[in-house]
Structure 1
Amino acid sequence: MNADRIISSAVLAVLLTLVPLHAAAQGATAKASETTAERAAENTSAKGNEKANANASDKSSAGYQVGERLVVRVAKVKGGFVEISWDDLIPTDWNPEGFLADLKLDQLEDNDPRAMEALQRMRAEWDHAPLVERMAGASVRLPGFVVPLETDGKKIREFLLVPYFGACVHVPPPPANQLIHVIPDKPVPAAWNMMPVWVSGVMAVGRIDSEMGVAGYQLRAVKVEEYKEDPPQRE
């Protein structure tokens, strides 16, 4: 297997996540017009593109595909915790793809050494993504997927909460402002690995590095419960 192709495909897979992030940061809709990521995708060979998206057809037992998110449709207060969305954790003036402008990603080929440069720069930028400081001390409730950090095979004692299915597992970690390190008051079942949940607790702001990614937020979870709403509808 061609190592250069793997690197390039990894860059593409992460770049494709920039579209919803950029739209959220600008308060735009999820459907964006042509982006840097899309132009890079158009110049990726069919074979490389198939490998980059091989996991996109994978479904969890709950029916989610890689990249699908859980949506908070109407913000409300439940049990003293204010429901927030992942967009609330992104500073409104942050452009997650701005640093890529000078890399000319539309000219990337599968064996282009600039693919490694793009991946390294992207990882560094994302691990130091700006945080929303006003979230410190907030009592919040939000949905996400469980990525275990500490487990004995029966219970999960620590985990990362991620905004879309497959993050940190099927595709590289999202920016630090889209990762929450969760320590639940009561361990959750190991069977909840990669499952959707609602998490309620008090937020702290500060980076924590783990083997699965750099989290910009921490949450002491008072309550972790299964996400009961229907999976996203696909056309």
Structure 2
Amino acid sequence: MKKWLIPGILILAVIVAVAGYQILGGGPSISGETVNWRQLGELDYITGNAPPELKALDNQPVKLPGFMVPLEDEQRQVVEFLLVPSPQACIHVPAPPPNQMVYVKMKKGVPAMQGPIWVYGTLKLVTKQSMYGDASFEITGEAIEPYK
């Protein structure tokens, strides 16, 4: 019995650490279908017509990779940002088309990130305007994490 005590304690510690990491916001608490930019690009942003596969994602939890363009002056904690498919799609070049920009409003502030990220949240097919251009999509964000 004693030979199982230490391995049992180690396994329990790992389980508690993983659960604590999720509960305290260390990892995403939402899962969803992984969406890619090619799917979003199928939306005709002039007419608003979307293929059935894209319409099926409306108001659904998703996971989408991209790059953050903060819409706020606060650089430490960000609540609103645009998610774009490439790091070059920022304010220094012409904005991407609306079907290649997603307006993200986080439920709580997240750290501003420079590299690629995953955004977890609920996708809506709705046009949102920002100072950097129109976005054909909105995500109510639950969590972000670095893209790995």
Please give the TM-score of this superposition, normalised by the length of structure 2. 0.69
Partner of 2:11: none
Deviation at residue 213 of structure 1 after TM alignment = 1.2
1:16-165 equivalences under 5 Å are 80-91=31-42, 128=46, 130=48, 132=50, 134=55, 135-165=57-87
Separation (CA, whole Å) in 2 of partners of 1:149 and 1:137? 23
Radius of gyration: which is bigger?
Answer: 2
More helix, by proportion: 1
Q: Which has the higher contact order (CA 8 A, sep 6+)?
A: 2
The superposition leaves residues 111-132 of structure 1 with CA deviations (integer Å, 9 ceiling, x where unpaired) of xxxxxxxxxxxxxxxx737453
Percent same amino acid among aligned pairs?
A: 35
The superposition leaves residues 135-175 of structure 1 with CA deviations (integer Å, 9 ceiling, x where unpaired) of 31121101000000024232111000001112132321111
2:30 touches 2:142 (CA, 8 Å); kept in 1? Answer: no
2:30 touches 2:121 (CA, 8 Å); kept in 1? Answer: no
Instruction: Work out the number of aligned pairs and report it.
Output: 116
Partner of 2:116: 196
Could you tell me which runs of 5 or more consecutive residues in structure 1 were left unpaired when the two chains were aligned: 1-77, 95-126, 229-235
1:205 touches 1:217 (CA, 8 Å); kept in 2? Answer: yes
Separation (CA, whole Å) in 2 of partners of 1:217 and 1:197? 17
Separation (CA, whole Å) in 1 of partners of 2:40 and 2:49? 7
Code of the residue aligned with 1:162 in structure 2: it is: V
Separation (CA, whole Å) in 2 of partners of 1:155 and 1:165? 20
The superposition leaves residues 17-40 of structure 1 with CA deviations (integer Å, 9 ceiling, x where unpaired) of xxxxxxxxxxxxxxxxxxxxxxxx
Please give the TM-score of this superposition, normalised by the length of structure 1. 0.45
Could you tell me which runs of 5 or more consecutive residues in structure 2 were left unpaired when the two chains were aligned: 1-28
1:173 touches 1:212 (CA, 8 Å); kept in 2? Answer: yes
1:200 touches 1:223 (CA, 8 Å); kept in 2? Answer: yes
1:147 touches 1:161 (CA, 8 Å); kept in 2? Answer: yes
1:161 touches 1:179 (CA, 8 Å); kept in 2? Answer: yes
Separation (CA, whole Å) in 2 of partners of 1:158 and 1:151? 10
The root-mean-square deviation of aligned C-alpha atoms, in Å, is 2.2
More strand, by proportion: 2
After superposition, the Cα gap between the structure-2 partners of 1:129 and 1:172, relative to the gap in structure 1 and judged at 3 Å, is farther
After superposition, the Cα gap between the structure-2 partners of 1:208 and 1:84, relative to the gap in structure 1 and judged at 3 Å, is same
The answer to whether residue 126 in structure 2 is matched with residue 206 in structure 1 is: yes
Secondary structure in 2 matching 1:87: helix
Secondary structure in 1 matching 2:128: strand
Q: Among 170, 181, 185, which residue is 2:103 paired with?
A: 181
1:146 touches 1:161 (CA, 8 Å); kept in 2? Answer: yes
Q: Among 90, 97, 118, which residue is 1:168 paired with?
A: 90
